[in-house]
Structure 1
Amino acid sequence: MKKVLTIISLVTLLASCDSTTKKTSNMENQKNQTDSSTSPVDTTPKVTGIGGIFFFSDNPKETKEWYAKNLGVEINDWGSSSFESRNVDRPDEINSLQWKPFKKGDDYFSPSKKDFMINYRVQNIEGLVNKLKENGVTILDSIAAYDYGKFVHIMDAEGNKIELWEPAD
C-alpha cells in the first residue's frame, strides 16, 4: 500500500509539473503574441489629463515663497512648479502638471472674469479644435506651436477660459 501511495504521489507530482510547464509555455506564447502585435494608436481628439493649474494672487512672489517654505513646492525658472506623474496606461510616459500663481488682474486669463484657469493635456489638438468649432464652442486664438507643445484657448459654457495643450513628446 505504501508503494502504491508513493507511485500515486509521484504521478500526481509529474502531472502537475507537466501542467505547470504547459501553462507557462502558453502564457509565454500569449505574451509574445501580445508583444509582437502592434496595437493601434488612439488619435481620438480628447482631453487626456490636467496639464496645469493657474490662479490669481495678490502677491505671486509671496505666494510662491509661502508654498516653498510651508509645503516644499519648488519653483522653476519660469516661476511655476512642475509635478510629474506616470501615465497608468503607458508607464513609460511621464506627464507634468504646471502650477503657477499669476498677479491678480493679469490679462492672460482674459476674457474670463474668473480667478483661475485650468490647462488640459489633450491629444490631436487639431481634431479637437475642429470638433469644438462644430459644437459652437468659442475658440479664442489659433493653435500656437512651441518646442514643448501646441496650445489653444477656448471658453467653456460657464465663461471659464480653458487652455488646451498637446505636449510635444
Structure 2
Amino acid sequence: MAQANGPERMGPKITGMGGVFYAVSDPAATRAWYRDVLGLDGEYGPQMLWSEETCEQPYSLISHFADDTYIKPGRGGFMINLRVDDLDGFVALLKERGVEILDSADEGYGKFAWLLDPDGIKIELWQQCAPPE
C-alpha cells in the first residue's frame, strides 16, 4: 500500500485527520448525545486521542463515492467513521442505551456497524482487524 502522503519525501506533510465539522440545529444537544451515547466528550465537541489506539498501524481514510448510496439513510452527503476497539461490545452497549443499529458486517480487514446520530447523520463504527495492505 502506498503511504498516506504518496512516496516518501522530505518537508512538511499531512499527518492525520483533524476533525469533522458540520452544522446542526442544536449543537449542545448533539454534543450531549455524542457524550451520553457514544462516550465522546471534549471542550469543542467529541475528541478522540490517537494515543489511546492500540491497533497495529492504525489509519484514517478519506473515501470518495460517485453517489450517496453508501451514506444513505444518512443525510447531508457524508458519513462519520469512528474507530472502536471492540465492535461487538460497543454495539451491545449502544443497544442497552436504546440505539438502533442499522446493520453490521465483517469484511475480514475490519468489522463494521452503522447507526444514525440525532441529526440523521450516518455513523459507521469500524474495528480495524488488520494493518493496511
Q: CA deviation at 1:88?
A: 3.1
Q: Secondary structure at the match of 1:127?
A: helix
Displacement of 1:89 in angstroms is: 5.2
Structure whose residues are more often helix by fraction: 1
CA–CA distance in structure 1, aligned partners of residues 75 and 113 of structure 2:
18
Q: 2:74 aligns to what SS in structure 1?
A: coil
CA offsets 1:23-62 (integer angstroms, 9 cap, x no match): xxxxxxxxxxxxxxxxxxxxxxxxxxxxxxxxxxxxxxxx
Structure 1 residue ranges (4+ consecutive) displaced by more than 4 angstroms after TM superposition: 89-92
Q: Computing the radius of gyration over CA atoms, which structure comes out larger, 1 or 2?
A: 1
Correspondence for 2:95 among 129, 133, 142: 133
1:111–1:91 distance in 2 versus 1, CA, 3 Å: closer
| Unpaired stretches in structure 1, ≥5 consecutive residues | 1-71, 75-82
Residues 109 and 117 of structure 1 are in contact (CA less than 8 Å); yes or no, is this contact kept in structure 2?
Answer: yes
Query: Is the partner of 1:108 in helix, strand or coil?
Result: coil
Cα root mean square deviation, aligned: 2.8
| Contact 2:110 2:126 survives alignment (8 Å) | yes
- Tell me what 1:88 maps to: 51
Cα deviation 1:148-167 (Å, max 9, x = unaligned)? 11011111111111000001
The structure where strand makes up a greater share of residues is: 1
1:102 aligns with 2:82: no
| 1:118 counterpart residue number | 80
- The 5-angstrom pairing of residues 134-153 of structure 1 reads 134-141=96-103, 143-153=104-114
Q: What residue number does 2:121 align with? A: 160
TM normalised by structure 2 equals: 0.55
Instruction: Provide the rounded CA distance (Å) in 2 between the counterparts of 1:97 and 1:152.
Output: 17
| Offset of residue 73 of structure 1 | 5.9
Measured after TM superposition, the shift of residue 91 of structure 1 is 8.3
C-alpha contact 2:55 2:128 (8 A) present in aligned 1: no
